[in-house]
Structure 1
Amino acid sequence: MMDIAVFNQFDQAKILVVGDIMLDRYLVGDSQRISPEAPVPVVKINNQNDKLGGAANVARNIRYLDASVGLLGIIGDDENGERIKTQLHEENINAHLIKSNKPTITKLRVISRKQQVVRLDFETPFDQGDTQALPDALETLLPQYDLVVFSDYNKGTLNNIESLIEQAKKAGKTVLVDPKQANLAAYSGADLITPNLSEFVLAGGLVESEEDIASSARQLLKSANIASMLLTRSEQGMSVINQTEKTDFPAKVREVSDVTGAGDTVIATMAVMKALGQSDSSAAEVANLAAGIVVAKLGAEVVSPEELAAAVNEQLLTHGTHYQCPAEQVFRHISLARKAGEKIVFTNGCFDILHAGHISYLEKAKSLGHRLVVGLNSDDSISRLKGPSRPINEFAHRATLLTALKSVDWVIPFGGEGNDTPLDLINTLQPDVLVKGGDYTLETIVGAKETLARGGEVKMIEFVNGCSTTKTIEKIQKIAIS
C-alpha cells in the first residue's frame, strides 16, 4: 500500500534532467469563418503564450512537485533561447545551458476554441559539434543530484546517450529515460524507460495480446540491458514490466482535453517518486493518476502536489497520512495556481471544533473560485479572543482537519502578539475573493476595503442555523455536569 506521507518529502528529491530543450508557443484566438483563399479556418489571434517544452517541460513538471531540479541541454543563441532562460529562472529551475549557432527548437501551435488547429515546427537537429560539451558538463553536475532523467525527443542533444548513461551509472545514479530511438540498445544501462505504445511497436514490441506485450517487452529489455519498462498505453492505462512480472494500471482519465506533454508529466512523477525510494509499481500508480489529471488540461500543463495527493487519497488509499503542503512552499504553490489562471478565495477563522456549519460555509466559499485559502488563528490568538480555556484543539490538529476537506486547499496561520486580525496575511496574499460569514457587514470585514481597491470581490455567506463552536462547547459542558 502506497503511503501518502511520501508527498511531504517531495522537496528532498534532487533530479537532473538532460535532453532536448524546446519552446512551446501557443497562439490563441477565435475562428468564425473559412478562408476564401483555401478551405482552412481563419483564426483571429488575441493571445500569445510561451511555455517550456521537451526536456524543459519535464524539469518544470518536477519543480511543480516541489523537488529540486536541474536542466542540462542545448539552446540557440537567439530570442527564443533567451525566453527559455527567463522562464527557467522564473520557475526556479537550475539551468545549465549550452549555446549553439543553430536556432532554438520551437513548436508553434494555433489554438481556437480549445482545439489545436495546426502545429508548426522550427528545428534543425543538433550534431556532434553542438553536443561535445555535454559529457564534461554532466560530470560536473552529477554529484549534486540523486537521479538523472534523459528526455530524448530525437533532436540530436542525446546522440551519445549510451555513454552519458554510463557516466551517470558509474556515479551511482538511478537513470530514467523517455525514449524516442527505435533501437533501445542506445539506452543500455538505464534503470527504467517510458515508451508509449507506438514507440514500443517501433522498437519491435508486439501488442496482439497481453502475453505478447509482456514477452516481447522482456526480450527487448534483456537485449538492451535495461532493468524495467513503464509502457504508457493511452486509454488502456500503463504497464510496468520487468523480467519477473507485469503490473497493469487502468487509465484514470475523466475527460481528455489535450494529451500534449502527458509523457513529460509521467516521467517527471516517476522520477520524483523513484528519487524518494519508491518501487516502480508504487511510482507508476501515482504517475498514472498524474497523467489522468494533466490530459484534462489544455496545452503542456503540470500537476500540483495538492491535485495529485487528492487523487491518491480518493482512488488509491483506504487509510494513510494526510498530505499538507509544507509551510515554506505554501505561497509558492498559491503563486503557481494564480499563474495557471486559477481564482484564489480567502476566508479566515478559529475553526476550533469543526462542525456541519463550517463544512457548508467552506464548500460555498470554494465554489466562488478555484482554490480556497483558510487563514487560521494561532493558539495564542484564540486565547486572547475567546479566553484562556480556548482553543479546545491546538493549531496542528485544526489545520489537519481543515486540509483534509476537499474544499480547502491551503491553511496559513495568523495572529501574532498584538495583531489578531488577518489583514497582513490578506495584503500579502491579495486574494481574488474575500469571504466572511453573514453576520458581518462590508464595513466590518477586515481586508474588505483593501481587496476592493485591488479589484477583488468581497462576499458574505450565511451561516447554518444552530451551528456554532460556542454552542457545541456549552452542550458538552451541560452533558458533563449532568
Structure 2
Amino acid sequence: MKLSLPDFLQARVLVVGDVMLDRYWHGGASRISPEAPVPVVGVKNQEDRPGGAANVALNIAALGGKAVLMGLTGGDEAEQALRERLQAAGVDSHFHAVEGHPTITKLRVIAHQQQLIRLDFEQRFREQDSAALLEQAKPALTGAGVLLISDYDKGALQHVPELIAAARQLSLPIVADPKGKDFAKYRGATLITPNMSEFEGVVGTVQTEQELVDKGLALLEELDLQALLITRSEKGMTLLRRGCAELHFPAQAREVYDVTGAGDTVISVLATALAAGTDLPHAVALANTAAGIVVGKLGTASVSAPELRRAIQRQQGGGRGVVSAEQLLIALEDARAHGEKVVFTNGCFDILHAGHVTYLEDARALGDRLVVAINDDDSVRRLKGSGRPVNSVDRRMAVLAGLVAVDWVVSFSEDTPEALLEKVRPEILVKGGDYSEDQVVGGEFVKAYGGVVKVLSHVENCSTTAIVNKIKQDR
C-alpha cells in the first residue's frame, strides 16, 4: 500500500470522553531516603500535558485537523492548566465542570529518563454528570466529520449508547477507543480499536491467528460494527471488516521508549484521516505509522503531520534520490516544515567530473537540501548538438543521486528550468560559471519572492566539452 497524507486541514472531529491532565515532575535521584528504601528525587521542573481524551484532541490538532473536545472536569487548577494547553494548541474545548470532583490528574515522577512512580488524583463521575455531558455533546454532532469516543472508564461516557444513536441518525462515522469487559455499549459504532488485552477480555483467550479472526468477526456481527481494529503491540495491528479479508499491519516502531498515549495516537490519526476523506485501510496504515513514531517519545506525546510525512517517506524510500516533479514538491513541503533551506541548481551534467562534484558540494553548503535539475536528452541535444548527451538522462540522474551532497535529482524537458523553478521556489538559486547574477536564468523570479541568487566559480580545466574533445582526439 502506497501511503500519502490526506488534507488534514479539512478534517473536523468531535472528541467526547474522559479528559485528564498528565503532570510530570522531573529531577535527579542520586541517593536513597533514610526514611524508607526509596530514591529521593530533587524536583527541578514540572511539565503539564493533556491526557486521555484531551491527548486525543491534541493529536488531531497537531495533524492540522479541527478538534472539538467535550468532557467532565472539576473546575479546579488542573482544569485551568488543561484548558490553557489545549487552547494554545488550537483545540476547541467545552468542559462541564462538576463541583466537588477533581479534574482527573496523573502525576508521574521522572528521574534520569525513568518513571519512578505515578500518583492518580481522581474520583469517578456520576450518572447525572454523564447525562449532562451527553446533552452538551448532541448539538455538536452537526457539522462534525467524525465522532471520536475516548473511553477511559472514568464515568464520563455512561450514556455512550445514546450518543452513538444520535450520531447514527446523522450518518456520522463513529470510532471508539473502548474500555472494560463489556463492549455492548459501543453497539452500532463504525469502528472500535481495542488492544489485544482488551479484546481477549471480551472474547476470551486467543491462541491462533485464525481464532483471532473468527472471534473478531463474530464480535462485529454481535455489536453491529462495520470494522474492528485490534492493536497488538509488537505484532502490529489487525483490521477486520465485514465481507473483506483481514488486513495485518506490521509494527513500525524501531525502538520502543514509552507506550504512554500510543492508543490515543492511533485513534486520533485514524479518525482525522477518515474525516479528511481517506478510506479505512489507508487510515489504519497511517495510524500504524504514527504509533511507531509516538512510542519513541517519552510520556504522553503527539505526532505532527510533518513527522508523519517524513516517516512515510522513509518507509517508501523517498527520503532522497531520483524523484519526479510531483514527488519533489511533496519532499520539499516536508523539508520546509522542518525549517530546512532549499538550494536549487541545474545543468546537463553529461559526464560527471571533479569540477561538478566540487561545485555541488559548495552549492549544498549554502543550505540544508540540494535539488539538482537536469535537462532531459532531447533538450541536451537542442543545447549541445546531435552528439550529445553522451550519457542518457536516467544514467546521469543515477550518478548524481549517488553523491552525498545531492538530496534530490529531477529532470525537465524544456531548454531552461524556469517552469520547474516556479513550482520549487527555492530559497537559494545557484549557478556555476562566469555569469553575473542578472544573467542567471530564473534569477529575477527567485529574487522577486525574496530568494537569493548565487554564482559559484568552476574548477579550472574541468569541463564536459573538453573531456569529449580529448576522447575524440585520442581515438
Residues 31, 363 of structure 1: CA spacing in aligned structure 2 closer, same or farther, 3 A cutoff? Answer: farther
The one of 22, 25, 28 aligned to 1:27 = 25
Greater shift in the superposed pair: 121-130 or 30-39: 30-39
SS at match of 2:7: helix
SS at match of 1:211: helix
Task: Kindly state the Cα deviation for residue 416 of structure 1 after the two structures are TM-superposed.
Answer: 6.6
CA distance, structure 1, for counterparts of residue 14 and residue 39 of structure 2: 42
Task: Kindly state the Cα deviation for residue 241 of structure 1 after the two structures are TM-superposed.
Answer: 1.3
TM-score, reference length from structure 1: 0.72
SS at match of 1:133: helix
Q: Could you say which residue in structure 2 is the equivalent of 1:241?
A: 240
Task: Kindly state the Cα deviation for residue 417 of structure 1 after the two structures are TM-superposed.
Answer: 5.2
Q: Could you say which residue in structure 2 is the equivalent of 1:185?
A: 184
Q: Could you say which residue in structure 1 is the equivalent of 2:88?
A: 90
- Letter paired with 2:143: Q
Is contact 1:19-1:151 (8 Å) kept?
Answer: yes
Q: What is the correspondence of 1:1-12 to structure 2 with a 5 Å cutoff? A: 1-4=1-4, 7-12=5-10
CA distance, structure 1, for counterparts of residue 46 and residue 207 of structure 2: 43
- Letter paired with 1:78: D
Task: Kindly state the Cα deviation for residue 294 of structure 1 after the two structures are TM-superposed.
Answer: 0.6
CA distance, structure 1, for counterparts of residue 108 and residue 168 of structure 2: 37
CA distance, structure 2, for counterparts of residue 198 and residue 359 of structure 1: 54
1:223 aligns with 2:222: yes
CA distance, structure 2, for counterparts of residue 276 and residue 286 of structure 1: 13
Q: Could you say which residue in structure 1 is the equivalent of 2:296?
A: 296
- Letter paired with 1:233: R
Q: What is the correspondence of 1:274-285 to structure 2 with a 5 Å cutoff? A: 274-285=274-285
Q: Could you say which residue in structure 2 is the equivalent of 1:119?
A: 118
CA distance, structure 2, for counterparts of residue 467 and residue 391 of structure 1: 26
Q: Could you say which residue in structure 2 is the equivalent of 1:137?
A: 136
Task: Kindly state the Cα deviation for residue 266 of structure 1 after the two structures are TM-superposed.
Answer: 0.4
Q: Could you say which residue in structure 1 is the equivalent of 2:423?
A: 396
SS at match of 1:145: coil
- Letter paired with 2:267: I
TM-score, reference length from structure 2: 0.73
Is contact 1:23-1:50 (8 Å) kept?
Answer: yes
Task: Kindly state the Cα deviation for residue 38 of structure 1 after the two structures are TM-superposed.
Answer: 1.6
CA distance, structure 2, for counterparts of residue 155 and residue 107 of structure 1: 13
Q: Could you say which residue in structure 2 is the equivalent of 1:250?
A: 250
CA distance, structure 2, for counterparts of residue 349 and residue 86 of structure 1: 39
The Cα offsets for residues 267-309 of structure 1, whole Å up to 9 and x where unpaired, read as 0111122223333222111111111111001111111212211
Q: What is the correspondence of 1:317-396 to structure 2 with a 5 Å cutoff? A: 322=327, 324=330, 347=341, 351=345, 393-396=420-423
Q: Could you say which residue in structure 2 is the equivalent of 1:265?
A: 265
CA distance, structure 2, for counterparts of residue 476 and residue 168 of structure 1: 70
Task: Kindly state the Cα deviation for residue 14 of structure 1 after the two structures are TM-superposed.
Answer: 0.9
Is contact 1:2-1:317 (8 Å) kept?
Answer: no
Task: Kindly state the Cα deviation for residue 398 of structure 1 after the two structures are TM-superposed.
Answer: 5.2
SS at match of 2:154: coil
Is contact 2:428-2:452 (8 Å) kept?
Answer: no
Is contact 2:236-2:248 (8 Å) kept?
Answer: yes
Q: Could you say which residue in structure 1 is the equivalent of 2:158?
A: 159
- Letter paired with 2:78: N
Is contact 1:205-1:220 (8 Å) kept?
Answer: no
- Letter paired with 1:56: A
CA distance, structure 2, for counterparts of residue 71 and residue 358 of structure 1: 53
Task: Kindly state the Cα deviation for residue 88 of structure 1 after the two structures are TM-superposed.
Answer: 1.4
Q: Could you say which residue in structure 1 is the equivalent of 2:147?
A: 148
SS at match of 1:231: strand
The Cα offsets for residues 80-126 of structure 1, whole Å up to 9 and x where unpaired, read as 11111111110111112111111100000011111111111100011
Is contact 1:13-1:67 (8 Å) kept?
Answer: yes
Q: Identity rate of aligned residues, in percent? A: 37
Residues 364, 70 of structure 1: CA spacing in aligned structure 2 closer, same or farther, 3 A cutoff? Answer: farther
Is contact 1:352-1:398 (8 Å) kept?
Answer: no
For structure 1, the residue ranges without an aligned partner over 5 or more in a row are: 335-343, 367-371, 375-388, 403-413, 423-436, 440-462
Residues 128, 250 of structure 1: CA spacing in aligned structure 2 closer, same or farther, 3 A cutoff? Answer: same
Count of residue pairs the alignment pairs up:
397
Q: Could you say which residue in structure 2 is the equivalent of 1:57?
A: 55
Task: Indicate the structure (1 or 2) with the bigger Cα radius of gyration.
Answer: 2
- Letter paired with 2:10: Q
Q: Could you say which residue in structure 2 is the equivalent of 1:212?
A: 211
SS at match of 1:226: coil
The Cα offsets for residues 369-406 of structure 1, whole Å up to 9 and x where unpaired, read as xxx699xxxxxxxxxxxxxx88574231355999xxxx
Task: Kindly state the Cα deviation for residue 362 of structure 1 after the two structures are TM-superposed.
Answer: 8.8
Is contact 2:261-2:300 (8 Å) kept?
Answer: yes
Is contact 1:78-1:104 (8 Å) kept?
Answer: yes
CA distance, structure 2, for counterparts of residue 116 and residue 191 of structure 1: 36
CA distance, structure 2, for counterparts of residue 55 and residue 277 of structure 1: 22
Greater shift in the superposed pair: 221-230 or 45-54: 221-230
Is contact 1:352-1:391 (8 Å) kept?
Answer: no
Residues 373, 64 of structure 1: CA spacing in aligned structure 2 closer, same or farther, 3 A cutoff? Answer: farther
Residues 36, 365 of structure 1: CA spacing in aligned structure 2 closer, same or farther, 3 A cutoff? Answer: farther
- Letter paired with 1:256: V
CA distance, structure 2, for counterparts of residue 112 and residue 10 of structure 1: 37
- Letter paired with 2:289: L
SS at match of 1:203: helix
CA distance, structure 2, for counterparts of residue 57 and residue 363 of structure 1: 40
Is contact 1:17-1:72 (8 Å) kept?
Answer: yes
Q: Could you say which residue in structure 2 is the equivalent of 1:381?
A: none
SS at match of 1:141: helix
CA distance, structure 2, for counterparts of residue 361 and residue 103 of structure 1: 60
SS at match of 1:215: helix
